[in-house]
Structure 1
Amino acid sequence: MSHQTGIHANEELKKYFAKSRNGNVRVIKVSIKNEELTLDGHHSVKNNWENDYDQSVLPLIEDDQPCYILYRLDSKVDKNYEWLFISWSPDTAPIRQKMLYASTKATLKQEFGSAQVKEDLHGTVKSEITLNGYIKYKKNAIAPAPLTSREEELQEIKKSEVHTDYNVDSKQQTLGGVSFPITASAKSAVEDMLNGLYDYLQFKIDMENEKIDISFMGKVTIEELPTKVPTDSARYHLFNFKHNHLGSCIETMVFIYSMPGYTCPIRERMLYSSCKNPLINTICSLGLNIEKKIEIDSGAELTASYLYDEVHPTKTSNLPKFAKPKGPPNRGPKRMTKPQQK
C-alpha cells in the first residue's frame, strides 16, 4: 500500500495559511474532515511563545481524536517565523484514523511550507505535547539526518503501532498493514467452504465496527462470478476454480481482491489494501489453502481463460541463445604466438 492518501487542504485552510504569515497567529489546528485538510481552530498571539503554549495548545486537543497542531515560535529565519509541527495521535483513537493522519502529515507540511517547520513533535498522551513535554523532548533529542516524506510517513505509522498477539479474533496495526478480526459468521463460512458446502465466498469490511464480515456465500459458476463483483465498492472473494488441466479435473482456491478504481472513498481504498494480507493469513490459519492471489478492477476480467492463465502461466522453455557480438571492424588477422622453448 502507498502511504499517500490523496487528501489535500481545502480553500479555507489555504487562505488561512497565507493569513498566518503576518505574525498575529499563534496556533492553528488542522483536522481531516470529508477527506480534506480543514481548519479546526486557532488562537492569536498574546504573550511570548512559552507563556502562550499550554493555554493555546491544550484546549484544542480531544482525547480520542487525532489532529495536527501548528504552533508559531518567536524565532525567525529569513524574516519568517519558525513553527512547531505537533502530530496528536492518541492511543485510544481508532486505528484507521491514526493511519490516515500519519499518512497525510507530509502533505500538510508541504502545503503549509516545510521550510517554516523548525521541529516535529509526536504525542500519544497529553503529557508529551505540553510545554514541559516539548522541553523534555528538546533535551533528549539528537538531531537526526533529514528524512524524506516517505520516511516521515513510515516513522509516524511506526510510532502508532499497537502490539498484540495475532489470532483470528485479534485486531492489530503493524507497519505492513491493519488486521481487523473476522466475525463468527465469516469464520463459519470459511470452515463450511473447507468442508465443500460452498465454492464462493465474498467478504466486506464493516467500517463502523472495524471487522471483516461475510457478505455472500453460495455455489457460483465461473460464468456467474463476474456478476458478483460490486462496481462501486471494494471486496475480497474466495473462489474454488474448477477446471481441466492436462486431462485432469483440478480445483484451485483463488483469493480475489477487487477494487473498482477511484470510485471508492480514500479511506475505503486504504483499509481494504491494508487488511488484505492479514485476512489471507487468517483464512489460511483456518485450514483453507489459497493457491493463487489476484487483484482486479472489474468483474469483467474474471473469465475462465483469464483464471486458467493465472493459475497455469505459460512457461517459456525455448529461450533465445546468446548471440556473441561482432568484433570491431578492421581489426586485422589474429596473431599467433609461439610456445616458449624450454
Structure 2
Amino acid sequence: MQSGITASQELLDTFKAFTEDTSKRGFLVTVEKESLVPKESFPASSSFDDDLKGLESLLTTDVAVYIILRKDPPPAPLISIAYVPDAANVRQKMLIASTRNTLIKQLGGEKFGDSIFTTEKHELTAEGFKKHEAHTKLENPLTEEERVLKEVRDAEYQAQAGTTNRKAHVSSGVGFPISADAVDALNQLKEGEVSLVQLFIDVEQETIHLASASSTDVSGLADAISKEEPRYSVFRYTHEHNGSEESPAVFLYTCPTASKVKVRMIYATSRGHVAQTIEKEFGVKLAKTLEADDASEIDAKHLNDLLHPQKEESKTFSRPKRPGRR
C-alpha cells in the first residue's frame, strides 16, 4: 500500500452492493481514522448527464473526496474520481492524492475503465465529462500505475513552473515543521560556515530533518547528494563571473525516479513551502531553483547556464542609403 490506509469492510460491502444494484449512479468515499469509508450516494435515472447534477450537490469547494461512478449499465467498467479542491485541508489533499491507487486496487482494478483527478467541480458536470472524453481519445491508454505516476510528474512540473493555466492542487504547499538540527545547519549556511545543506522529509512524522551539512565545491556536489533518496539541498555556489566572485544560494530538488509515488507526491507538494521558509525565516535568498532526478545531472555548466543565461545577440541591418546621396 502507498500510505498504510486500507479499505474498510463497510466500503467493501457498499461497493459490492453498488456493483449489483443499478439504482445508484455513484457514491462518495473519504478517509476516516486511517480507513477508506463510504459516504453519501446519489440515484440513477435514465440520463447520466442529469444524474451528475446530483453529484454536484454533494460536493463542496473545501472537502476532498473520492467518487465511484457508473456511466453505463453493467458489465461496463466504472469510473473512479479523486476530487481535490484547492481550498481543501492540506493533509486531506495529500491523503486523497496518495491513497488513490490503494482504493482502486482494493476494490478491484479490473472493475474500473477510467480514472480522473480534478480540482474543479465544473469538470464533473456533463460538459466537463464531454471534454474529458474528447481529451482521452487523443491520448494512448495508460495503466492505473502509469496514470498516478503521470499525475505526480504533472504536480512536480506545476510546482516547478510556479503558475499554470489553472491553479494546481499542490500550489499552496505543505508546511511541515523543521527540526532543530536543520535550523542550525541553515543558519550555518547563512553565515558561510558550510556551503551545502541537505534536508529530507520524515514521511511518517511529517517533519523536515537535516540529512547533512558540509562544505563542498561544485565538483563534489554530485557525490555529496544522495542518489537513493529525495533531497532538498541548498548549495552556496561560489564561482567567478565576468571577472568577479559570486556566491549565490541555489535550491536543488533531487528525486530519484525509483522513489515511491507517495514520497514523490509529498516532496512535490512541499517544495515551494520549504524554499519559501528558507528565504523568509532564515534570510537566505535563493537565486534559482533546480530540479533533477539525479544529482549527477548538476554540474558547473548546468548552474552557470541557469544563473547566467546567454542573451541572443539581436542582428541589426544597415538602412540602405537614399539614391543620389554619397
Into which bin does the TM-score normalised by the smaller protein fall?
0.5 to 0.7
Cα shift at 1:231: 1.8
Cα shift at 1:61: 8.3
Residue of structure 2 equivalent to 1:238:
234
The answer to whether the Cα contact below 8 Å between 1:203 and 1:214 also exists between their aligned partners in 2 is yes
Would the alpha carbon gap of residues 174 and 87 (structure 1) be closer, same or farther in structure 2, given more than 3 Å must change?
Answer: closer
Q: 1:200 aligns with which of 178, 189, 196?
A: 196
Residue of structure 1 equivalent to 2:98:
100
Structure 1: where are the runs of 5+ without partners? 1-32, 50-56, 116-142, 151-172, 322-342
The answer to whether the Cα contact below 8 Å between 1:35 and 1:266 also exists between their aligned partners in 2 is no
> Is 2:248 the partner of 1:252?
yes
Note the alpha carbon deviations across 1:21-44, whole angstroms, 9 max, x for none: xxxxxxxxxxxx348998764336
Structure 2: where are the runs of 5+ without partners? 22-26, 48-71, 116-124, 134-168, 318-326
Cα shift at 1:85: 7.8
Distance 1:254 1:185 in 2: 20
The answer to whether the Cα contact below 8 Å between 2:173 and 2:273 also exists between their aligned partners in 1 is yes
> Is 2:248 the partner of 1:266?
no
The answer to whether the Cα contact below 8 Å between 2:31 and 2:95 also exists between their aligned partners in 1 is no
SS at match of 2:237: strand
Distance 1:183 1:293 in 2: 22
Worse-matched range after superposition: 207-216 or 180-189: 180-189
The answer to whether the Cα contact below 8 Å between 1:66 and 1:101 also exists between their aligned partners in 2 is no
Distance 1:244 1:93 in 2: 44
Would the alpha carbon gap of residues 320 and 181 (structure 1) be closer, same or farther in structure 2, given more than 3 Å must change?
Answer: farther
Q: 1:179 aligns with which of 153, 175, 180?
A: 175
Residue of structure 1 equivalent to 2:287:
291
The answer to whether the Cα contact below 8 Å between 2:196 and 2:213 also exists between their aligned partners in 1 is yes
Residue of structure 2 equivalent to 1:315:
311
> Is 2:47 the partner of 1:65?
no
The answer to whether the Cα contact below 8 Å between 1:201 and 1:216 also exists between their aligned partners in 2 is yes
The answer to whether the Cα contact below 8 Å between 2:80 and 2:104 also exists between their aligned partners in 1 is no
Looking at CA atoms only, which structure, 1 or 2, has the larger radius of gyration? 1
SS at match of 1:308: helix
Distance 2:237 2:182 in 1: 20
Q: Counting helix residues as a fraction of each chain, which structure ranks higher?
A: 2
TM-score in terms of structure 2 length: 0.56
Q: Which amino acid aligns with 2:222?
A: P
Note the alpha carbon deviations across 1:115-153, whole angstroms, 9 max, x for none: 9xxxxxxxxxxxxxxxxxxxxxxxxxxx77535669xxx
Residue of structure 2 equivalent to 1:112:
112
Identity between Structure 1 and Structure 2 (%)? 22
Note the alpha carbon deviations across 1:181-237, whole angstroms, 9 max, x for none: 211221221112111111110010111110111100011122211101222221111
> Is 2:271 the partner of 1:276?
yes
Q: Which amino acid aligns with 2:128?
A: P
Would the alpha carbon gap of residues 320 and 81 (structure 1) be closer, same or farther in structure 2, given more than 3 Å must change?
Answer: farther
Would the alpha carbon gap of residues 34 and 240 (structure 1) be closer, same or farther in structure 2, given more than 3 Å must change?
Answer: closer
Higher relative contact order (CA 8 A, sep 6+): 2
Cα shift at 1:268: 1.0
Write the mapping of 1:132-147 to structure 2, written as runs, cut at 5 A.
146=128
Cα shift at 1:298: 1.8
Would the alpha carbon gap of residues 319 and 211 (structure 1) be closer, same or farther in structure 2, given more than 3 Å must change?
Answer: farther
Note the alpha carbon deviations across 1:50-84, whole angstroms, 9 max, x for none: xxxxxxx9xx9874125264979686777549999
SS at match of 1:208: coil
Tell me the number of residue pairs that the alignment of Structure 1 and Structure 2 aligns. Answer: 239
Note the alpha carbon deviations across 1:277-327, whole angstroms, 9 max, x for none: 100000001211111111112222222222122211111122477xxxxxx
Would the alpha carbon gap of residues 267 and 222 (structure 1) be closer, same or farther in structure 2, given more than 3 Å must change?
Answer: same
The answer to whether the Cα contact below 8 Å between 1:73 and 1:81 also exists between their aligned partners in 2 is no
SS at match of 1:249: strand
SS at match of 1:179: coil
Alignment RMSD (CA, Å): 5.0
Distance 1:99 1:61 in 2: 11
